[in-house]
Amino acid sequence: MRVPRRALAALPATMLPARLAAQPAPVVDLLLVLAMDASGSIDADEFRLQREGLAESVSHPAVVAAIASKPRGAIAVAMTEWGSPGGAATVVEWMAVRDASSARALAEAIRAAPRSRHSYNAIGDAIAHADALIAAAPFRAEDRVIDVAGDGPDMRSILPAPEARDAAVARGITINALAIEVSPVTRFGEPLRAHYERQVIGGPGAFVMVAETRMDFARAMRAKLIREIA
């Protein structure tokens, strides 16, 4: 006997036939976690520049065009903030981006998200958090990327960045980085881009993009997103 659609919609998931209740996760071209620095080195004005630059980047017409050029014409994006050891937090849950309207919705979610409070630079723990976020994503994609942006080196991670990176890469995830080089060298005596190349990035085609100043963040992030997507 056929059951009317309205009756099916009213049933709890546990009472639906397995073939109806277990719907496959939507497939997109890319799962992208934006792992943003919210550590104590970034003051309120700098943080606002970073948030606005990120929102501007994800909704830029060139980024939307890059998404549209992909086979499925869609990506899924989540945003985390990191700083304190073990303290990485998801501030924007997974959102699908398919067109200018959904890109604007993501941008508004980024602007509206409350700032998480952190100290230090626990990048390894940020990568581990993003890795778990990808594993639990309500979307599926062959390409999975963690996009780390920060102005300092990995410090005091519970799981050091190279170990977290290697674990994520072993699961088929690529980790890229955006180095905001506000100082010529890090406490380890090397430029931040070199530190990220050695300690943070990994996977096929992994790369570091550089923002020479905080004001340059939006341009660098936009270029980075286009490269990651297209």
pLDDT band at 17 (very low <50, low <70, confident <90, very high): low
Would you say residue 5 has pLDDT above 80? no
Give the 3-state secondary structure percentages of the chain, helix then strand then coil, rounded to 5: 40, 20, 40
pLDDT band at 10 (very low <50, low <70, confident <90, very high): very low
Would you say residue 40 has pLDDT above 90? no
Would you say residue 13 has pLDDT above 70? no
Q: Which domains does the chain have, with CATH numbers?
A: 36-229 (3.40.50.410)
Strand residue runs (E) in the chain: 30-37, 75-82, 89-97, 143-150, 174-180, 208-211
Q: Return d(Cα 177, Cα 210) in angstroms, integer.
A: 8
The residue among 96, 66, 80 whose CA lies nearest residue 132 is: 80
State residue 9 phi and psi, 5-degree precision: -65, -30
pTM summary value: 0.88
pLDDT at 116: 81
Residue % of the chain over a pLDDT of 70: 89
pLDDT at 187: 72
Structural tokens at position 225: 């997103």
Average pLDDT over residues 58-87: 96
